Structure 1
Amino acid sequence: MASGVQANGECTTVFEKLKGSFQVKDEGEEEIGRFVIMKLNKNNSEIIVEYKSKPEETFDDFLALMDAAAKAGEGRYAFYDVLKPDQDEKAHIGAKGDMAMIVWCSDEECGIKQKILYASSKGALKKACTDSVNEFQANDLADLTLEALQSKCKR
């Protein structure tokens, strides 16, 4: 089911930077850490970039942002660069892992309209961010763990 929602051009650019396709940074350009978070705009007509992580941010920082979105009754999309279980995020800043696309809509906090919009619009984001990524659906913070992402991203 398509929703008619399109992904903003910045989504593709930021995704490419996250996965490391851009080897040369422009002067003054910020380095992106392990994750980016995207959301539907206020009119629910376009997917936009909401947050680009800093290199020192960890999965706990990511969870806090996703939890805040849920408490606001909103869904989110995210791309997370998942390291292998034996790699510590803080010790391996800059290392690249497997890419996970996360569709996040809390069962308890998000309304049915929000869930339907996010589910029906993920295809537009996947099309804009073309690469083989591991898709991960999470509806509760208990579902959204680093271990679950690592399991999904096993090669």
Structure 2
Amino acid sequence: MATSGVKAGQDCIDAFMDLKIGKAHKYIIYKIADDLKHVEVIKQSSDEDYDNFLKELPEDDCRWAVYDFAFKTADGGDRNKIVFYSWSPDGAKIKPKMLYASSKDGLRKVLNGVAVEVQGTDFDEVAHETVLEKIRR
């Protein structure tokens, strides 16, 4: 259980497994439910346009996301890595930022297979090139 008491349910895990193993989705967006007690899946998409994924991250509220990031290796091979995003924009209020920060580990622990974690407070930090650079390290 997360420090905040916000729990990630089976639906969060099932959506992740659909992305990881079933390749049914390109990304998943998660948020803390209105009751502040559990994490819910708010979007699953097969859209491969990274800019459309970024449009799902609000400028004034926090979210978590998982993205199946495709890229080319140095030798030209195709690779994928699952990236976990912790989105806490500058425009979000302090209380949600604190709740998301204290609840993140509860979700992260149930998502087995994430290769890279990205913290984002503005869109430059989650830009395609920025994330690609982090993946290649």
For the aligned pair, the TM-score class normalised by the smaller chain equals 0.7 to 0.9
- Aligned to 2:123, what secondary structure does the other structure show? coil
Tell me the CA shift for residue 133 of structure 1: 2.5
Give the unaligned 5+ runs of structure 1: 24-30, 87-94
Tell me the CA shift for residue 85 of structure 1: 4.8
2:33 matched to which residue of 1?
41
Amino acid at match of 1:79: V
Contact 1:81 1:96 in 2 (8 A): no
**Residue 58 (structure 1) aligned with residue 45 (structure 2):** no
Contact 1:75 1:104 in 2 (8 A): yes
Structure 2 counterpart of 1:77, from 57, 60, 64: 64
Q: CA RMSD in A?
A: 2.0
Structure 2 counterpart of 1:123, from 82, 102, 105: 105
1:89 matched to which residue of 2?
none
1:102 matched to which residue of 2?
85
Looking at structure 2, the residues matched to 119 and 64 of structure 1 have their Cα atoms a distance apart, in angstroms, of: 21
- Aligned to 1:74, what secondary structure does the other structure show? coil
Amino acid at match of 2:53: F
Q: Deviations over 1:55-114 (max 9, x none)?
A: x44111111111xx22xx32000001111157xxxxxxxx7610110000111x201111
2:18 matched to which residue of 1?
17
Give the unaligned 5+ runs of structure 2: none
Looking at structure 2, the residues matched to 83 and 22 of structure 1 have their Cα atoms a distance apart, in angstroms, of: 15
- Structure with more strand by fraction: 2
2:129 matched to which residue of 1?
147
| Runs of 4+ more than 6 Å apart | none
User: Percent identity of the aligned residues?
Assistant: 30
Amino acid at match of 2:88: C
Please say which of residues 111-120 and 123-132 is displaced more in the overlay: 123-132
- What is the count of residue pairs matched by the alignment? 132
